[in-house]
């Protein structure tokens, strides 16, 4: 088991495909591979994530698995956004535990031992705008920059009419409790590109509000 652990420790993301585990066990000389995988699951060394994927739980390493990386892997292409990204970038004060991502595929939700991961569908033309690659102890993940996360939040908000600057300011300050000073150094080109491609009146209003803060 120690030999297997040493091999699995070479996967810093700790997200491992079933085929990879099977191949590693075979190379280490194990027989009845599927029985061995069941044993590893029963000992909580492997936790099923979704069909064909496991999370490796090291016996001698307490490093927490990156939920952001899990979110990227569960459904691709995707990037972490909305409330979690707003919190990640320090724009909103409350911690966010459910990770919501954006994808070009159909909206979907996964319930896993590591939490709920939800995905909202966006048009392909908007997908690549304003994305950032961040690094954790487990590896890299893709997340919306603060500008893109805010655009996504406004774009996907359906229960409030955000087509006036007054209402938009109230939404940002009162509903989201945005730290408005964080918006004073935003990259306006991201708002402008998002507005142009989405043709969304809400994003157009958001862009004008942010421009007003930077004057």
Per-residue pLDDT at 97: 82
Per-residue pLDDT at 59: 76
pLDDT in tens, 63-97: 778 999 999 999 999 999 999 999 999 999 988 88
Per-residue pLDDT at 163: 95
Average pLDDT over residues 118-130: 98
Per-residue pLDDT at 54: 96
Specify the higher pLDDT residue, 61 or 133: 133
Listed residue (124, 121, 202, 119) closest to 157, CA to CA = 202
Average pLDDT over residues 132-142: 94
Contacts of residue 70, defined as CB under 8 A and 6 or more positions apart, other chains included, come to 15, 49, 55, 99, 112, 114, 117
């Amino acid at each position: 088991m120690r030999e297997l652990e040493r091999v699995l420790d070479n996967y810093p993301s700790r997200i491992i495909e079933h085929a990879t585990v099977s191949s590693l066990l075979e190379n280490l000389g194990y027989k009845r591979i599927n029985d061995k995988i069941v044993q590893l699951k029963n000992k909580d060394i492997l936790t099923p994530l979704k069909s064909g994927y496991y999370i490796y739980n090291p016996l001698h390493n307490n490093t927490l698995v990156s939920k952001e990386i899990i979110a990227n892997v569960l459904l691709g292409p995707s990037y972490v956004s909305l409330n979690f990204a707003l919190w990640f970038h320090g724009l909103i004060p409350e911690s966010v535990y459910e990770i919501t991502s954006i994808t070009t595929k159909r909206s979907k939700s996964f319930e896993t031992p590591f939490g709920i991961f939800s995905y909202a569908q966006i048009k392909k033309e908007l997908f690549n705008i304003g994305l950032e690659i961040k690094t954790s102890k487990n590896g890299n993940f893709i997340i919306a920059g603060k500008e893109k996360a805010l655009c996504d939040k406004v774009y996907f908000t359906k229960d409030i009419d955000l087509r006036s600057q007054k209402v938009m300011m109230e939404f940002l300050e009162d509903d989201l409790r945005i730290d408005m000073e964080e918006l004073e150094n935003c990259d306006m080109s991201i708002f402008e590109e998002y507005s142009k491609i989405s043709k969304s009146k809400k994003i157009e209003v958001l862009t004008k509000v942010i421009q007003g803060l930077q004057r």
